[in-house]
Amino acid sequence: MSAGPDPQADPGALLAALLGPPPGPAELLAAWFDTPLGRMIAVADQKRLHLLEFLERAALPTELRRLAARGRIGPGRTAVTDRTEARIAGYFAGERAAFDLPLALHGTDFQQQVWRELQRLPAGTTISYAELARRIGRPQAVRAAARANGANQIAVVIPCHRVIGSDGALTGYGGGLWRKQALIAHESTHFAG
């Protein structure tokens, strides 16, 4: 199983290897930046953030290919990328818990409903998948809510890491359970209560 792209790779070369060269001007631009928990990739256009993931996420190549079907992706930055990097830096510095970023949510209506609910969760708190399903008015849809949580392509900003098992156990996180634990601990230290 692949651990995802090489975090030290050249963005242009990596994108070309995954997607081939864009057949024309890129509509979406991808840039890497460093965080205390590893490098992240942001894909944005001039108006919205389409993807934000830790670079080692195993599903990243699939996510990029799916996104490329919506618009050609090339290396580069936009004002949205710069704003995203600044907001993520502020989050890790303990200066901000909320993100005021324009997001492009690529998912079903149900997934988008789950992602909007995740954005309502205050930093420093966690809920169970069952509670997430209850909050969206679908208490029987626990597994579907968990799948939607896992399909989130905008890590940290849409805080899927704040959802845990009913027994309090850390479960599934595309960026790795160690990162989920680190994000929850960071928020408990800097933003709780």
Query: Among 51, 145, 156, 160, which one carries the catalytic annotation?
Result: 160
Return the HEC string of the chain: CCCCCCCCCCHHHHHHHHHCCCCCCCCEEEEEECCCCCCEEEEECCCCEEEEEECCCCCHHHHHHHHHCCCCEEECCCHHHHHHHHHHHHHHCCCCCCCCCCECCCCCHHHHHHHHHHHHCCCCCCEEHHHHHHHCCCCCCHHHHHHHHHCCCECCCCCHHHEECCCCCCCCCCCCHHHHHHHHHHHHHHCCC
160 is known as an active-site residue = yes
Active-site residue set: 160
